[in-house]
Amino acid sequence: MSAELHSHHSAPPVELMIPSSCAAETKKSPTRRTTTGGGIMAPSLFKAASQQPRGRRGGVFATKEVASAAGSCAMYVACSTLMVLTNKWLASTLAVNAHVSLLMMQNAVATFLVSSCKTVGLVDYANFDRKVAARWFPVNIYFVAMLATSFVAMRYLSVPMITVFKQLANLLTVSGERYFFGKPVSKGVALSFATMIAGAALAALNDLEFSFEGYFWQGANCVCTSAYVLYLKYATKTVQLSKFAMVFYNNLLSLPLLLVIAVANGEPAALWDAHRNGKIDATFFAVNGLAGAVGFFLNLASVWCVSATSATTYAIVGALNKIPVTILGYLLFHTAISKDMALYISVSLVGGFLYSFEQLRQQWHAPGGVVLLPRESPRDTGGIPSPPPSSGGGQAPSSY
């Protein structure tokens, strides 16, 4: 959850470092610049497809470029989908009330992985700074709330309904941007929201597995996700962090906060008793660790996807990714869905695609033609909003 990336929200854009070999070409022929991620030193394997100027590639270079683009999109879709499904399985099979402890374990895995990747040179960000950590801690509170509410909602709601209602966080985010930052709302965005809301409301009314608790926690998650994205936009005006620095600080700073909450709720003792009594086995903890790892690799996949393809491709893949997530969630968890409910879910998903398209259209027509990618989520986890921050091991909301 230390999300979806999972894909969705408008957060402050930041730039990818342009490979030096392409600098001359960039100066000679100004083109639309794609930005994302924030001061990231893109891993060398992600740069490979960019080393030859576009338009002059042929033969083996063209083949490598296509392979890199296809591989990056496949990795992004696979990580985003697996993250949602593993967390749904964990939440729905958890025998005791220990959601916070599971999140803490996932974030610990993500912290270890991002630190290890920095050590071997796969990613790069500034070393830990206490002053930066202190200034970033308020952001982390929203981050933890976003992850916790998402995980609890998964216990009660089906994957299709979570996918549909997760989109409504965009409505709160856009409303907040209009109120706090004076950002106008276009007719296209308004139409996409009307489609999303109508589809989601009708799907909920026809939900054969209706759960008041589930919709309550999903509503709380939408509020927390929107608050996280809006506060992130405010905070990044004074604290400049790269994408992977956000992954590092979000997950690291969440650990003491989650530990205090878990201990106060008696979760460690409950988990130990459940394990000793055979209610939770080693496989459960292994899957939980996998969820944390997948959330982190979703961040890597998003960087690779943007560098190997384009901002447009990345956004479209994130929007279309909801389809396999919804279908697999329905099949794997034996969700009861009527024909009417399936229709309304489809309508809401179309609204989400229209929203992504409208955001891209506005950004392409912005002064300078710069495409500003919303941060993802990402885990849903933790932490990449958009097509998001991800649930688990990330920087912002999940990419549902």
The stretch 377-400 carries a mean pLDDT of: 39
Q: Are 203 and 345 in contact (CB under 8 A)?
A: yes
Which parts of 265-321 fold into alpha helices (H)?
A: 267-276, 282-308, 311-320
Predicted local distance difference test score (pLDDT) of residue 45:
42
pLDDT at 170 over 80: yes
pLDDT value of position 198: 95
For 140, phi then psi, to 5°, come to -65, -30
Q: Which residues pair with 40 in a beta bridge?
A: 16
| pLDDT over 90 (residue 160) | yes
pTM of the model: 0.77
Classified as helix, coil or strand, 382 is strand
Q: Hey, is 328 helix, strand or coil?
A: helix
**Reported confidence tier of residue 367, pLDDT bands at 50, 70, 90:** low
First and final CA of the chain: distance in angstroms?
A: 10
* DSSP-derived pairing of the beta strands 34-35 and 371-372: parallel
What pLDDT is stored for residue 60 in this prediction?
58
pLDDT in tens, 176-230: 999 888 888 889 999 999 999 999 999 999 999 999 999 999 999 999 999 999 9
Query: Does residue 54 register a pLDDT over 70?
Result: no
Q: Does 233 have pLDDT greater than 60?
A: yes
Average pLDDT over residues 354-365: 82
Residue 99 corresponds to which amino acid?
H
96: tokens are 């005791």
Q: Is the pLDDT of residue 5 over 50?
A: no
Mean pLDDT estimate for the chain: 79
pLDDT at residue number 368 = 54
371 in helix, strand or coil? strand
- Kindly tell me if the per-residue pLDDT of 16 is higher than 70: no
